[in-house]
Amino acid sequence: MPKKPAYGRGNRSKCVSASEASNASCILVVEPHPTLRMVLAQRLRQDGHMTAAVASAAEAMQLCLDQQPDLLVSAELLEETTALKLGAQLRCPVMVLTARTGAEAVVSLLDSGAEDVLRKPFGLEEMAARCRKLLTRSGGLQEQVTVGPLNVHLLLRQVTLR
């Protein structure tokens, strides 16, 4: 049976609360290519983030049963789903890594809910800077807001009547 991946920095087994980790963010990397997956996670750990790196959406969902990431960095197309659908299921902001070219593809991903899009190939420093910016921006965002009889779920972009 394969070992369950875990968030970690050094020998820590899972992402811990912000107070325990000096405000370290939890970033989940979902990338089918093993070398790129490893390099992305290592670079993010250099910035002090807690990271987990998995190859598939199924592994990501299993990992996140008891720990929600602060940011998902994912290949656009996964075997079972897309990065945007996975981000909606995990209820976290998504940075999509795509091999598609052209502005239309990027605009489509952004309009569909991606917080940011990086075209492959990309520089690791650019990816790290964009992650820092997304985490700073999303840090003050409330997940849900109630206005009168309406409950607005900002990350899922859903409004329900109470």
Contact 90, 54 (CB under 8 A): no
* pLDDT reading at 122 higher than 80: yes
pLDDT in tens, 8-33: 544 333 553 333 444 578 999 999 99
Contacts of 140 (CB under 8 A, 6+ apart): none
Q: What pLDDT sits at residue 66? A: 79
Q: What pLDDT sits at residue 29? A: 98
**Span 135-154, mean pLDDT?**
71
Average the pLDDT over each of 46-55, 94-103, 110-119, 142-151 and give the range with the smallest value.
142-151
More confident call, 58 vs 144: 58
* pLDDT reading at 120 higher than 60: yes
Predicted TM-score of the model (pTM): 0.74
pLDDT in tens, 25-73: 899 999 999 999 999 999 999 998 999 999 999 999 999 987 889 999 9
Q: What pLDDT sits at residue 77? A: 94
* Structural domains of the chain sorted by starting position, each given as residue range(s) with its CATH number in brackets: 26-161 (3.40.50.2300)
Nearest to 128 by CA among 14, 41, 69: 41
Number of H helices, E strands in the chain: 5, 8
